[in-house]
Structure 1
Amino acid sequence: MRALARAAIQGGRRMAGQLQSVMRQRPPPGPGEWIAGMAAGPGGVRGFHVYRPPDMAPDERLPLLVMLHGCGQTARDFAIGTRMNRLAARERFLVLYPEQDLLANPQGCWNWFELRSGQALAEAATLLSAIDRVCMAHGGDRARVAVAGLSAGAGMAALLGLSAPERFVAVAMHSGVAPGAARSRHSALAAMAGRRAPALGASPAVPLPPLLVLQGDADAVVAPVNGERAARAWAEAGGARPAAAQQRQRGQRLPMRVTAYRRRGRTQVVQVDIHGLGHDWSGGATASPFTDPRGPDASALVWGFVARQLRRLQADAAASGQSTL
């Protein structure tokens, strides 16, 4: 009994410490609300922040984009570096920024690779709890949720889409490794170096959500081949085939090669290879860590991809006489 009591006290102190750590973060600059919160699940307790655009009505329900940071970042770092809040204010959607617990990973990485121990799926379940909490308390629409991530956050975003495909309208991976390429910390290093291929498993009963893959060809942390492997594995799981790649460049930004994978006229996967980009969020804020302002605007690419899936969802619902709102 005493051991249980001590464990409960320690757990309560840890939760209180996490909440204080999250609440101490100053809001990123810009209009709108920056709300701290916590969620508990099989992977433990995780703090988060929610960005709500200005003038949101009390009964309004908006799409929700989950943004999973990379190693060595906080929720605030990721919000500032990606400038996703500015886009959310203009396009009117919510953004959820979960934050990894340093006791779960000293580098602040999401444990996307810990499949053998079960920690990866436990963390994924906790993130689903955070999504539920935000939808219930802050006006998120459960039918219009997408997830995106950078590096370790990209691996966890893909794992969420694979393990709970019915929960997401779209998934975006930036500089990450697809699920199944690693099952432990040791094999994660080999996967990041491009020495292990993803293994998504049997075709899921529920179709996988559409996937956007962003990858720099000068990435020295996650081998560029991982982007192509992630796109192909996801496409093959849904029976999609690649179209001819297209070269694109916007102004003076780094050029990119875009490959769409389609099935029955619908795009299931889009692979974007960015020439000259390292292990950074493309087109991010100047002077922020893990961003490269020279690249195409990854935040705009992510939201554009998500918005297309939302429009398709609305069109399908209208054709069937249903409502997505």
Structure 2
Amino acid sequence: MTNDYVAEILRATGTLRSGDPDGVTAIVQNALALAGLTGSGGGIVAGDPGRSTKMPQASLPGLGLTEHHSSRTGRLRKPLGEVIRSLQEGGKGLKLEGLPGLGRPLQAPEMPLPDGAQFLDQRYSCAAGARRYRLYVPSTAGEGLQGLIVMLHGCTQNPEDFAAGTGMNALAEEHRLLVAYPAQTGGDNSMSCWNWFRPGDQMRDTGEPAIIAGLTESLRDQYAIPADRVFVAGLSAGGAMAAIMGETYPELYGAIGVHSGLAYGSANDAMSAFAVMRGQPGIAPVPSRKPGGGLEAGPRLIVFHGSADTTVHPSNAERIIAGKGGSGEQISQSAPGAAGGIRGYTRLVTKRKDGTHTIESWLIEGAQHAWSGGHPSGSYTDPRGPDASAAMVRFFLHGTSDLAEA
């Protein structure tokens, strides 16, 4: 099995014509059975954010990893072409259009801009490749920018959708921040996922990390952003890539935010990606090698995850935190759900002697695979909060997500 197996399966299903999720699920399950793959549960490889439909969770993962593939090569018992033919033949007369989150990014409306603000559509190129990106420049930029946040969207999303859903531009206007939204397209991954599970995209100076780092450096230098005020955050596959950026370019980012993502080095192909997303151990974690010293060196970290996430199992948040080590006072804080449906949460903090937080982990009660506190104009958002965007910005700028301490 190649790393592009799941992407090819999704591309094949995207050619079907169906409005019947159960029918499409049966087709995909039959195809996987032909390929020697059985089981149920899990989520889409590459951290595809799921919506309310259960079709992605029920149909694609849940692979019999031990029985049906080599642990080193992941070879299928049946060739991919046979699987695709089964999908095509079984899908006659069905429709996929209208199934949210399957191959077609939401066309989010352009958000209104304050007078003097800009939401630029630009492109960055380097030896490792090129990406389109949107750049929010606040109307108060002339008074001095306070930082740069690089926002990495999830699967099937695009920069405009992600900006609308996270509401990060409004926070950027309030705090005089520059926000960049790199775009992963169908040409780079058929579901527009950042390729967090491919070895070539988990290393410094190559692949997608090199592109994102080069874009970050160019904006930092162009807009004279202080070196310690550069941050990266992402959702799902974008969250996994943000974790990779923190490990491969620790000197570049002052802090990273991972929402519903996965730990650095937790997968090296499609099969190990499926496993770790389902909460299984995946591959052995890779010790981080950071310029200047041990495992505790590197950017500060804030993590959000929903306790009811069936696409990326909540145990992945624990794995991210465990991989960072950390020293200092450990504080656990729980907040029950409030009247009006606001979700409760448990927050674990590693606090330094100077009062700043080196690690924060938020587990949101009952939340699924969606940006906590996000706006419904974007995809994969949970408006019931708490507000992950506001907490991240406070953590990035002030070393704590506590409003009273910020």
TM-score normalised by the shorter chain: which range applies?
0.7 to 0.9
| 1:209 paired residue number | 299
CA distance in 2, matches of 1:251, 1:212: 26
Q: Which runs of 5+ in 1 are unaligned?
A: 1-23, 312-325
CA distance in 2, matches of 1:146, 1:54: 20
Q: Which runs of 5+ in 2 are unaligned?
A: 1-106, 402-406
CA distance in 1, matches of 2:146, 2:349: 28
Per-residue CA deviations over 1:221-251 (Å, capped at 9, x if unaligned) read 00011111211221x2x44574334335566
Q: Which has the higher strand share?
A: 1
**Which of 1 and 2 has greater Rg?**
2
CA distance in 2, matches of 1:52, 1:251: 36
> Map of 1:188-227 to 2, 5 A cutoff?
188-196=273-281, 199-202=285-288, 204=290, 205-206=292-293, 207-227=297-317
- The structure-2 alpha-carbon separation of the partners of 1:91 and 1:263, relative to structure 1 and needing over 3 Å to count, comes to closer
TM-score using structure 2 length? 0.65
Give the aligned CA root-mean-square deviation in angstroms.
Answer: 2.4
Residue 247 in structure 1 maps to residue 307 in structure 2: no
Structure with more contact order per residue of length (Cα contacts < 8 Å, sep ≥ 6): 2
**CA contact under 8 A between 1:41 and 1:129: conserved in structure 2?**
yes
Q: Measure how far apart 1:113 and its partner are.
A: 1.2
Q: Measure how far apart 1:132 and its partner are.
A: 1.9
- The structure-2 alpha-carbon separation of the partners of 1:283 and 1:150, relative to structure 1 and needing over 3 Å to count, comes to same
Per-residue CA deviations over 1:201-240 (Å, capped at 9, x if unaligned) read 1563351211101000010100011111211221x2x445
TM-score using structure 1 length? 0.80
- The structure-2 alpha-carbon separation of the partners of 1:218 and 1:230, relative to structure 1 and needing over 3 Å to count, comes to same
- The structure-2 alpha-carbon separation of the partners of 1:185 and 1:228, relative to structure 1 and needing over 3 Å to count, comes to same
> Map of 1:16-35 to 2, 5 A cutoff?
27-31=110-114, 32-35=117-120
> 4+ runs of 1 displaced by more than 6 Å?
none
**CA contact under 8 A between 1:27 and 1:34: conserved in structure 2?**
no
| 1:164 paired residue number | 249
- The structure-2 alpha-carbon separation of the partners of 1:62 and 1:27, relative to structure 1 and needing over 3 Å to count, comes to farther
- The structure-2 alpha-carbon separation of the partners of 1:61 and 1:283, relative to structure 1 and needing over 3 Å to count, comes to closer
Q: Measure how far apart 1:139 and its partner are.
A: 4.8
Q: Measure how far apart 1:254 and its partner are.
A: 0.3
Identify the match of residue 62 of structure 1 among 143, 146, 153: 146
Q: Secondary structure at the match of 1:243?
A: strand
- The structure-2 alpha-carbon separation of the partners of 1:141 and 1:255, relative to structure 1 and needing over 3 Å to count, comes to same
**CA contact under 8 A between 1:245 and 1:257: conserved in structure 2?**
yes
Q: Secondary structure at the match of 1:136?
A: helix
Residue 258 in structure 1 maps to residue 347 in structure 2: yes
CA distance in 1, matches of 2:302, 2:286: 16
| 1:4 paired residue number | none
Q: Secondary structure at the match of 1:168?
A: coil
Q: Percent identity?
A: 34
Greater alpha carbon shift after TM alignment, 241-250 vs 46-55: 241-250
Q: Secondary structure at the match of 2:111?
A: coil
Q: Which has the higher helix share?
A: 1
Residue 306 in structure 1 maps to residue 396 in structure 2: yes
Residue 76 in structure 1 maps to residue 165 in structure 2: no
- Give, as a single letter, the amino acid of the residue that structure 2 aligns with 1:175: S
- The structure-2 alpha-carbon separation of the partners of 1:41 and 1:90, relative to structure 1 and needing over 3 Å to count, comes to same
| 2:232 paired residue number | 147
| 1:180 paired residue number | 265
CA distance in 1, matches of 2:388, 2:174: 16
Q: Measure how far apart 1:36 and its partner are.
A: 1.6
